[in-house]
Amino acid sequence: MNSAKSRLQRMIVGMLSLLAVSLIAATTSAAPAASPTGSASKPPAAPEAETATPSPPGAHDDAHGQPAPAPAAAPPAAGPAIEGDAAGALERALSAYEYGDMDLVVESARPVAEGRAHPNATQRVQALRLLGIGLFLTGRSEGAETAFFDLLRQKPGARLDPTHTRPDVVAFFESVRTRHSAEIREAARSQPGGKHLAWAFLPPAGQFQNGDRARGVVFGALEVISLGLAIVTYTKLKSWQNPADDTFGTHADDARTLKVVNYVSVGVFATTVVVGIIDGIVNFGPHDEEPPLAWLGPGGLTLRF
């Protein structure tokens, strides 16, 4: 009996150790998702449209509003834009943006933004962002508005990072969003695969839908491990139980310990699901640019009707 009890204790300790190790591994693997993405040196398709490339030196000096001395390096070769070569055109546009040649940015990004270079959706969004910035910084605000409007219709939640983009460009971009808010919302509603509040009630699906990958991994790991532990302990208890009098015979002491583990596992699972639902609702936004339907305020959970 002592040997059986010792094996049971080792099994419980092993399960709890597995739970702790899994949580640590899940949190560690999810951590990179929270770090900022997108930089000027990454390949064209990698950066998100929300992140703007840092304002280049040379043609536009933010501090004084006057042209700065051109760097010693030679400008990127312009060359004709080859239709069907969206990646190459975007690479030229990004290189020109880093150098500060806004005219070349416009020339290289335009065939991608207009679809003549056969881009995918991500490439077109990035090209529209670069084209809008280039047109605005070369004094063609009407063309910049058209490019930014097309960008927002493709990706309603797009933002220009104010820490890496000139304030006047960011202000103009947000003014385009404001002037065309109705058309942008309509375009967002017509896009397939939009966000749905129902997924918030199925953690961790709600966390992944809201873009919170780290929390999604943690919630998912907690649910799987706690539910698995609850099922294993419940099955073991049932195998020990005498149906005639609901006793556990020689396993009475082990059953008491296992019941505690079972209750704790069920409690962890239920708590994780409830917290996950609240988190999914709190951080839900149907089109990213709109405020969430619910949020945590000083008075607790607040709903917007």
Residues 187, 113 share a domain: yes
List helix spans (H) across 210-251: 213-240
Cα–Cα distance for residue pair 184/97, rounded to 1 Å: 27
Give the pLDDT score at 68. Answer: 46
Cα–Cα distance for residue pair 279/89, rounded to 1 Å: 41
- Residues spanned by the domain of 168: 38-191
Residue 284 predicted with pLDDT over 50:
yes
Last residue of a domain, one of 163, 191, 219: 191
Question: pLDDT higher for 291 or 190?
Answer: 190
Last residue of a domain, one of 174, 191, 208: 191
Residues 203, 180 share a domain: no
Question: pLDDT higher for 101 or 43?
Answer: 101
Quick one: average pLDDT of 191-208?
A: 79
Residues 27, 46 share a domain: no
**What does DSSP assign to residue 100?**
T
Residues 240, 161 share a domain: no
pLDDT tens readout for residues 156-181: 888 887 777 789 999 999 999 999 98
Residues 171, 46 share a domain: yes
Give the pLDDT score at 80. Answer: 45
Spatial contact of 218 and 27, defined as CB atoms under 8 Å apart: yes
- For a pLDDT cut of 70, what percent of the chain falls above it? 64
Q: What Cα–Cα distance (Å) separates residue 192 from each residue in 57, 113, 188, 189? A: 40, 21, 9, 8
Residues 60, 152 share a domain: yes
Quick one: average pLDDT of 257-273?
A: 94
Strands (E), 36-189: none
Last residue of a domain, one of 191, 215, 231: 191
Residue bearing tokens 């991994």? 217
Give the pLDDT score at 198. Answer: 84
The mean predicted confidence, pLDDT, of the chain is 74
pLDDT tens readout for residues 84-105: 588 889 999 988 988 889 999 8
Give the pLDDT score at 155. Answer: 84
Residue 10 predicted with pLDDT over 80:
no
Residues 224, 209 share a domain: yes
Q: What is the DSSP string of 52-63?
A: PPPPPSSS--TT
Helix, strand, coil distribution of the chain in percent, nearest 5: 60, 5, 35
CB-based contacts of 39, cutoff 8 Å, min separation 6:
47, 51, 53
Residues 155, 15 share a domain: no
Cα–Cα distance for residue pair 163/169, rounded to 1 Å: 12
Write out the two tokens for 239: 């195998």
Residues 175, 54 share a domain: yes
- For a pLDDT cut of 90, what percent of the chain falls above it? 28
Residues 51, 176 share a domain: yes
Residues 51, 157 share a domain: yes
Question: pLDDT higher for 5 or 169?
Answer: 169
pLDDT tens readout for residues 47-69: 444 434 444 444 444 433 444 44
The pTM assigned to this predicted structure is: 0.42
Residues 45, 9 share a domain: no
Split into its structural domains, the chain has a count of: 2
Quick one: average pLDDT of 129-146?
A: 92
Give the pLDDT score at 4. Answer: 57
